[in-house]
Amino acid sequence: MYYSISEVAEMFQVNTSLIRFWEKEFDILQPKKNRKGNRLFTQKDIENLHLIFHLVKERGYTLDGARNKLKENREETVNHAEVVMKLKEIRSFLVELKENL
């Protein structure tokens, strides 16, 4: 399954220009392009974008810092991002539960 750049930008609530910029800055992003030149993102690209988003937007890394972190210790970064996502899911569940009480 492929996602368009507008769908990906909506997932992350960012502009499409930021996705294109990150594509140039991070070599782990390799979306396919169709004959028209439209970017088609795979699930792997989405996972990589989650990592980049986590490092740059949530943890406040610079682009160079995020690039280095992904090169040096990708596995730890992936694990940390997964923990953060799970904690956000648990928090939203608890907030919803509280509102329903």
Q: What is residue 90's predicted lDDT score, i.e. its pLDDT?
A: 94
The structure's pTM equals 0.78
Percent residues over pLDDT 90 in the chain: 65
Q: What is residue 62's predicted lDDT score, i.e. its pLDDT?
A: 95
The model's confidence at residue 88, banded by pLDDT at 50, 70 and 90, is confident
pLDDT of 74 above 80: no
Percent residues over pLDDT 70 in the chain: 100
Torsion of CA 28, 29, 30, 33, to 10 degrees: 180
Q: What is residue 71's predicted lDDT score, i.e. its pLDDT?
A: 87
Cα separations (Å) of 42 from 2, 32, 35, 47, 99? 5, 8, 17, 9, 36
| Domains in the chain: ranges and CATH | 3-100 (1.10.1660.10)
User: pLDDT (tens digit, 9 = 90+) per residue, 24-66?
Assistant: 999 999 999 999 989 999 999 999 999 999 899 988 999 999 9
